[in-house]
Amino acid sequence: MITFSKAGFAAALMIGASSIVAVAPADAKKKEEAPKGPVLSAEFRKPALEAQTALKAKNIAAAEPAVVAAEAIAKSEDEIYFAQIFRLQLESDRVQAASNGDSAAYRRGEIALIKPLEALIANPKTLATDRARFTFRLGLIQYDQKNYAASAVLLKQARDLGETNPDLQLTLVKARIEGGDVMGGAADMQQAINAEIAAGRKPPETWYDYIIPRLAQADKFDDFIRWSQNKLKQYPSAKNWRTLVIYFGFSGKRSDLLDKQQKIDLFRLLRANNALADLADYGQYALYLNTSGLPVEAKAVLDEGTKSGKMALTREDDKALYAAASSAIKLDGPVAPREARARASATGIASIAVADAYLGEGNYAKAVELYKVGLGKGVSKPDEVNTRLGIAYALMRDTANARAAFALVKAKPRDQIAAFWLAWLDLGGTPATS
């Protein structure tokens, strides 16, 4: 439904006052003294008053012939303006009545408002505030009609004209994105976010939530990470950490693109944030660990899950996984005896395996030592090793060295995983609140 400004609607109600009729002056002095106001002829007044009275009473049947008559007679700029106001109000009332509260029906019918709105937007008599509002309304109509490119142009014009409706910015972004311009929509939203922050306000969480999944859908994961980092600075909850990490590594085709070791390091980030949610999270994480030769960490994860109350070892598969991890721990024995052999090895493979085991046990200082030993001998996956070196430093609260290790991670998606860990360090490197 169209909402007129008080000034614009009051102007439509002024036509019954005799004082608003201006008579053309005979000389310059009289011109200077001429009353300011709409110039309406006596001929125009009759249908105009009838239209005004009927519209005020929401009597569409009576308003229709009066509006048509006013349009036919209108000659001066003021008469044309008032006739256009009447037409817009009439069409708005008609659409509202026909829709009978059905929003879908209203959207279908609001096409009838396009021409009256366009006429008023182009009319120099339209007040600036109303021109902004009418432009915004026209942009919304074009959006509802799925004319996204036209909608984006109009909404931007409305914003530039000074319209401040709180729905404008998000609708503009939606219009650009629905029209295929994901990055343009993201840029518009970032502009709005920057303005909110500059004004000392917290940007609405919904603004981030609209952009972030669409960046993921468009495979714009560098931008996805940046937006995720910025959202977490404003809304650093455990729930948000989980949602963003799941979007990044465990949803859609990304779930197939990331390998088990990459997912383990994302799960480690969730664990550090107390953001593992349920049996599915804990169970999958523990399964990845156990099948990677890290039973100590697998058992610790399952123990944490049951202690927290987020999961229960009631299913046979989960009981079997716990038993398998416990058996592997006994079979493998302590890590320390393996360390000497790893240090003596000609390659870095054994050192990295021992470092991974120390990381899983929570012996982060030893993990750092062995990762460095492995890197010094040469490894086939330096990005993976440097990610885990950074994780070990991060979990032992050595922020400077953690940042340095993460900075060495170059290839995708490992550099993006490292960026998530850096975001956690930026927030203090402590578990997020629920």
pLDDT in tens, 309-318: 999 999 999 9
Half-sphere exposure of 139 (CA within 13 A, CB side): 28
- Between these two residues, 325 and 12, which has the higher pLDDT value? 325
**How large is the average pLDDT for residues 20-29?**
36
d(CA 404, CA 389): 10
Q: What does the pLDDT average to over 222-247? A: 96
User: Among 33-42, 224-233, 351-360, where is mean pLDDT lowest?
Assistant: 33-42
Is the CB of residue 244 less than 8 Å from the CB of residue 228?
yes
CA distances from 58 to 15, 50, 286, 379 (A): 18, 12, 67, 80
Q: For residue 239, what pLDDT band results from cuts at 50, 70 and 90?
A: very high
283-317: b (≥16 Cβ within 10 Å) or e: bebbbbbbebebbbbbbbbbebbeeeeebebeeee
Q: Which amino acid is at 58?
A: K
Alpha-carbon distance of 179 to 175, in angstroms, equals 6
Would you tell me the crossing angle of helices 349-361 and 364-377 to the nearest 10 degrees? 170
Q: Which residues neighbour 427 within 8 Å (Cβ) at sequence distance 6 or greater?
A: 232, 233, 236
Residue 1: name the closest of 148, 146, 102 by CA.
102
Question: Does pLDDT of 185 surpass 80?
Answer: yes
pLDDT in tens, 134-144: 999 999 999 99
Judged against a pLDDT cut of 90, whether residue 19 lies above it is answered with: no
Closest CA to 297 of 252, 273, 264, 343: 264
pTM score: 0.79
Among 208, 261, 265, 248, residue whose Cα is nearest residue 232: 208
What is the gyration radius of the CA atoms in the chain, in angstroms? Answer: 33
CA angle centred on 65, ends 60 and 67, rounded to 5°: 80
Q: Does the CA dihedral 359-365-368-373 come out positive or negative? A: negative
Confidence of residue 5 (pLDDT cuts 50, 70, 90): very low
Percentage of the chain beyond pLDDT 90 is 86
**Residue 36 pLDDT:** 60
Averaged pLDDT, 257-268: 97
Q: How many residues in total does the chain contain? A: 434
Backbone angles phi and psi of 237, in degrees to 5: -90, 160
Binned at pLDDT 50, 70 and 90, residue 18 comes out as very low
Whether pLDDT at 2 is above 80: no
Residue 6 pLDDT grade (very low, low, confident, very high; cuts 50, 70, 90):
very low
Residue 167 has pLDDT above 90, yes or no: no
pLDDT category, 22, cuts 50, 70, 90?
very low
Confidence of residue 21 (pLDDT cuts 50, 70, 90): very low
- How far apart are the C-alpha atoms of 424 and 206, rounded to whole Å? 21
Cα–Cα distance for residue pair 153/139, rounded to 1 Å? 8
The interaxial angle of helices 349-361 and 336-344, nearest 10 deg, is 150
Question: Which has the minimum average pLDDT: 19-23, 140-144, 185-189, 358-362?
Answer: 19-23
pLDDT, tens only, 34-93: 446 688 999 999 999 999 999 999 999 999 999 999 999 999 999 999 999 999 999 999
Flag the least confident range among 27-31, 191-195, 217-221, 343-347: 27-31
- Over range 270-281, report the average pLDDT: 95
Contact between residue 119 and residue 130 where contact means Cβ atoms under 8 Å apart: no
Q: Say which residue the tokens 């009066």 belong to.
A: 66
The encoded tokens of residue 160 equal 């530039």
Q: Once rounded to an integer, what is the mean pLDDT over residues 314-324?
A: 95
pLDDT at residue 383 tops 60: yes
Neighbours of 366 (CB within 10 A): 19
Cα 345 to the center of its chain, rounded Å: 51
Residues pairing with 237 in the sheet: 433
For all residues of the chain together, what is the average pLDDT? 90
pLDDT of residue 38: 82
Cα 312 to Cα 168, 275, 278, 303, 309, distances in angstroms: 47, 17, 9, 10, 7
Q: Does the pLDDT at position 418 exceed 90? A: yes
Respond yes or no on whether the N-terminal peptide bond of residue 413 is cis (omega within 30° of 0).
yes
Sequence-distant (6+) residues with CB within 8 A of 362 are: 300, 395
Q: Is the pLDDT score of 341 beyond 90?
A: yes
